[in-house]
């Protein structure tokens, strides 16, 4: 009975993990593709290259600032708004120093690493899912895969935090907004880091379950 409960727990966890992966990685990627297509169209129309800083966290320079230029289309009345996340697109013809170009290269390299790690996670999750199809849950190979997934998710969280930090530093050099400033308040991706820790805890639970299973088989 205990083994059955653990198996159900693992299945629920994998389902939640896949849902979180879709919300935290797939949807932002789709948004990035939409932004990329829009920017490509803008570059084509303006005949110049654009520099973009996408989905940047911001806070108002004045704590009391509110944007009153928006309208509620339901009744046509003005409403007050305050942005917390913006995308900035500007001409890339601005002269950039060497340190900025180096940071940009590091930014692109780290982004490629994160993409590669994300693909690695998908392959590992697929292998775990395949083993579940054959009712193979409490196997040491799955424990190893779960450990890898947890470690990779933590690495993605840390690298994502570094990428966002670099992005803010680069944006601050090129852009100074009238009413907002870029903020480091949400730069650390705690969601990914916590998820990675939870996965590692889950893999430890699976390891204990495997040991219980082996002890039961030896007893029999």
The encoded tokens of residue 47 equal 């005949």
Sign of CA dihedral 152, 118, 22, 16: negative
- For 105, residues 6+ apart whose C-beta sits below 8 A from its C-beta are none
CA atoms within 13 Å, Cβ hemisphere of 191: 9
**Beta pairing class for 67-72 and 77-81:** antiparallel
User: What's residue 218's pLDDT?
Assistant: 73
Q: DSSP class of residue 84?
A: S
Give the count of beta carbons closer than 10 Å to the beta carbon of residue 117.
16
Q: What is the pLDDT of residues 153-189, one digit of tens each?
A: 999 999 999 999 999 999 999 999 989 999 998 899 8
Q: What angle do CA 81, 82, 86 make, to 5 degrees?
A: 120
pLDDT one digit per residue (tens) for the chain, 220 residues: 455 666 676 677 677 777 776 776 667 667 767 777 777 777 777 777 777 887 889 999 998 999 888 889 999 899 999 989 888 888 766 788 999 999 999 999 998 998 899 889 888 888 877 776 666 666 778 888 889 999 999 999 999 999 999 999 999 999 999 899 999 988 998 888 988 898 898 888 878 877 777 777 777 6
pTM of the predicted protein model: 0.77
124 C-beta neighbours (distance < 10 Å), count: 18
């Amino acid at each position: 009975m205990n083994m059955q409960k653990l198996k159900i727990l693992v299945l629920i966890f994998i389902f939640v993990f896949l849902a979180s992966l879709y919300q935290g990685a797939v949807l932002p990627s789709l948004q990035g593709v939409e932004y990329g297509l829009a920017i490509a169209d803008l570059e084509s129309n303006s005949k110049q290259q654009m520099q973009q800083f996408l989905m940047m966290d911001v806070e108002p320079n004045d704590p009391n600032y509110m944007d009153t230029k928006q309208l509620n289309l339901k009744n046509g009345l003005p409403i007050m708004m305050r942005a917390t996340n913006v995308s900035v697109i500007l001409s890339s013809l601005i002269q950039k120093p060497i340190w900025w170009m180096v940071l940009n290269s590091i930014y692109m390299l780290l982004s490629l690493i994160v993409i590669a790690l994300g693909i690695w996670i998908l392959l590992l999750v697929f292998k775990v899912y395949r083993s579940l199809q054959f009712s193979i849950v409490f196997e040491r190979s799955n424990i190893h895969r779960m450990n890898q997934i947890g470690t990779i998710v933590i690495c993605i969280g840390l690298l994502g935090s570094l990428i966002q930090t670099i992005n803010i530093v680069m944006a601050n050099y090129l852009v100074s907004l009238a009413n907002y400033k870029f903020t480091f308040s949400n730069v650390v991706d705690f969601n990914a880091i916590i998820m990675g820790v939870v996965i590692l805890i889950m893999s430890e639970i699976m390891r204990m379950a495997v040991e219980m299973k082996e002890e039961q088989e030896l007893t029999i």
